[in-house]
Chains A and B, each alone.
Chain A
């Protein structure tokens, strides 16, 4: 089966600019996650979707981050405006259902200068 696809692979922007990341999960996976991974740390959940509804966005900085999952398939994560501390790898993952193992994409490495 095709894995989780993410783009772009790398992005460099200046602070206060906007950026968007795209994720296409494994076909048929109902649950989609966005994680932020800062260098040297484990992934931190930003938002979890079940089909196209939000299950958990308690750790999403809603003043600058937004995410949507249209038609319950692919998803975009946006940061507007970016801050220096947003420099991280943004990982998308999907699972067949809640409580199933997660399948991760290779992530987007964001550098904010």
Chain B
């Protein structure tokens, strides 16, 4: 069953702009993960944030987690054409470990 839902479904921006994607989930979690998928490829892990963390950074990525609202956001700063991909949030269900993925946000960054 699907746990996370990303919003928006699609996002189109210019190089240099920031991109923000949101994820909402339904049940309590112990961590939330974000993945990127380039066309025709497998998913690549970007960042994991645990339930006791509110914010995490990795390079140009910033992830926030609000467990009271059951939501997370992924911010990509100073976007590049190479950031064009689909982005998925993933949360565990059945207590832990088995990750379920949302439908993703398709990001298009134009030069």
Contacts and interface: CB of A to CB of B under 8 A. Distances in A.
A99 B31 contact: yes
Contacts of B40: 106
B68 interface: no
Q: DSSP class of B's interface residues: helix, strand, loop or mixed?
A: strand
Interface residues of B, number: 25
A55 B98 contact: yes
Determine the interface band of chain A, counting residues with CB < 8 A from chain B.
20 to 34
B97 interface: yes
Contacts of B98: 45, 48, 55-56
B101 A43 contact: yes
Contacts of A31: 97
B94 A42 contact: no
A91 interface: yes
B82 interface: no
14 contacts: A40-B103, A43-B43, A44-B101, A45-B98, A48-B97, A56-B98, A91-B42, A91-B43, A99-B31, A99-B96, A102-B35, A102-B45, A104-B42, A104-B44
Ranked nearest first, the 4 interchain pairs of A and B with the lowest CB-CB distance are A104-B42, A42-B101, A98-B97, A101-B45
